[in-house]
Amino acid sequence: MSAESLNPREIALQQFEKAADIMKLDPGLKEILSKPKIQVTVSVPVEMDDGSVKVFTGHRVIYNIARGPGKGGIRFHPAVTLDEVTALAEWMTWKTAVVNIPFGGAKGGIAVDPSKLSVGEIERLTRRYTAEIIKIIGPEEDVPAPDVNTGPREMAWIMDTYSMHIGRTENAVVTGKPGVLGGSRGRPEATGRGVYYVAMRAAEHKGINLVGAKIAIQGFGNVGSHAALFLHEHGAKIVAVSDATGAVFAKGDRIDIPTLFEKVQETKSVVKAAAGMSDVEIVENVKEGNLRVLTADVDILIPAALENSITSDIMKDIKAQVIIEAANGPTTPVAEEYLVSKGKLIVPDIYANAGGVTVSYFEWVQNRQGFYWTLEEVRERLKIIMDQSFDDIVRMMNEYDVPMREAAYILAISRVAEVTRMRGLYA
């Protein structure tokens, strides 16, 4: 086991401080920006189907609202802690600033394994959690969205619970809703599509031809599966994928991603989905499959699962030249330093997976205007923002002579710091 810290809050702070020091951020601003604005922890009692009562612990952290309302997803996962949610809320703050959309950063989570709950239990959990945090969320205050193990269904319940409390229908309180409730076209695919746009730019930057490039993807949830689909359509070869049930490897040239994608929608498992497919090797041992995906002999590695996938334990075995962080916090600072010293390009999470929150912003704008865009408009505008941000980050890389994460942080921190300085301190 490695001795490095795997606490996401410590890692997020370390990343912030490193960039803040390089850019010589004013000490007062550094102090302000290293602290969350609001941290709320709530007990969420739920009546289970068998009549018993269970109390779950939930959190919502609004890290910063200097540039606009809090923004960030809600995750349902057994490993959720206040430290993790705070780190994720901090990362959202930099993410919205990197892509220059008028939001701050926030995040929520409940420590729960939803696969062990019935739909009714998940609904009661979601609604009661919403009621517990209702004072701090709102279209102008803090706007939740999907994250790990939550999606349009949960967003519909949050939107309904909030609307019932205020006595009118308010759909701009959450993003990532079903289309009929005001969800934006292209929102479910948005993070994965953004990762695809990022891959185009990153490959070009590294002199790799994305058509024919070999890619491994860790995580085949909403983000990993959509990224795989778009990259496959583009002509890239996805040769290895994994999820919480195991891994699948191409025996031939590439995995038939459209077929795998379709089957995963029903089976929720890459192992089950690949069962009837030809030309694939299936690894049911989750640990072994995961390790083989992360260390596969590929050009591009896309971690699209949870934090701390790429640690000092495996850093020396990573073969990919480009790592695109579709997940939040997948690479530890120790592993990053090593990989960067080997000339690898790590495209940081706060930019790489910002496609999701960018289309969330589009959804919020459409909800407030009551005027809805076509899928083509969403895709075009997303591409413009992702491309512009890539150019902005590369400019910072050149200006400060730093790797991509520090450059993205400097860009983001300077934007949040500028408004904070200009607004001044209310006393």
71 makes contact with ligand GLU (CB under 6 A) = yes
Active site residue 107: yes
Look up tokens 């969350």; give the residue: 36
Are 121 and 48 a contacting pair, CB within 8 Å?
A: yes
CA atoms within 13 A on the CB side of 366: 26
Contact call for residues 133 and 61 (beta carbons, < 8 A): no
| Candidates 119-127, 227-235, 315-323, 349-357; binding stretch for ligand GLU (CB under 6 A) | 349-357
Token pair for residue 270?
């890459």
Binding segment for ligand GLU (CB under 6 A), chosen from 16-24, 67-75, 77-85, 253-261, is 67-75
∠ CA 413-336-386, nearest 5°, is: 50
Tokens of 344: 């690898």
State the number of binding residues for ligand GLU (CB under 6 A). 12
Long-range contacts of 385-391 (CB under 8 A, 24+ apart): 385/99, 385/100, 385/101, 385/358, 386/99, 386/194, 386/197, 386/198, 386/201, 386/354, 386/355, 386/358, 387/197, 387/201, 388/100, 389/98, 389/99, 389/100, 389/351, 389/354, 390/198, 390/201, 390/351
Give the nearest distance from C-beta 94 to ligand GLU in angstroms: 11
Query: Which is the catalytic residue, given 37, 71, 95, 107?
Result: 107
Kindly tell me which residue out of 126, 149, 175, 218 binds ligand GLU, with binding defined by CB under 6 A: 175
Among the listed residues 147, 243, 299, 325, the single contact to ligand GLU using CB under 6 A: 147
Q: Which is nearer to ligand GLU, 97 or 334 (CB)?
A: 97
Question: Which residue has the closest beta carbon to ligand GLU?
Answer: 73
Residue of 62, 114, 69 lying closest to 88 (CA atoms) = 62
The 10 Å Cβ neighbour count of residue 190 is 29
Q: Examine residue 99 and tell whether it contacts ligand GLU (CB under 6 A).
A: no
Looking at beta carbons only, is 289 or 356 nearer to ligand GLU?
Answer: 356
Window contacting ligand GLU (CB under 6 A); options: 65-73, 115-123, 250-258, 395-403? 65-73
Q: Which stretch binds ligand GLU (CB under 6 A): 68-76, 109-117, 392-400, 406-414?
A: 68-76
**Total Cβ atoms within 10 A of residue 297:** 10
By beta-carbon proximity to ligand GLU, the closer residue of 89 and 236 is 89
Q: Which of 222, 360, 389, 420 is in the footprint of ligand GLU by CB under 6 A?
A: 360
- Pick the closer one to ligand GLU by CB: 213 or 327: 327
Q: Supply the residues annotated as catalytic.
A: 107
Site residues (CB under 6 A) for ligand GLU? Answer: 71-73, 95, 145, 147, 175, 328, 353, 356-357, 360
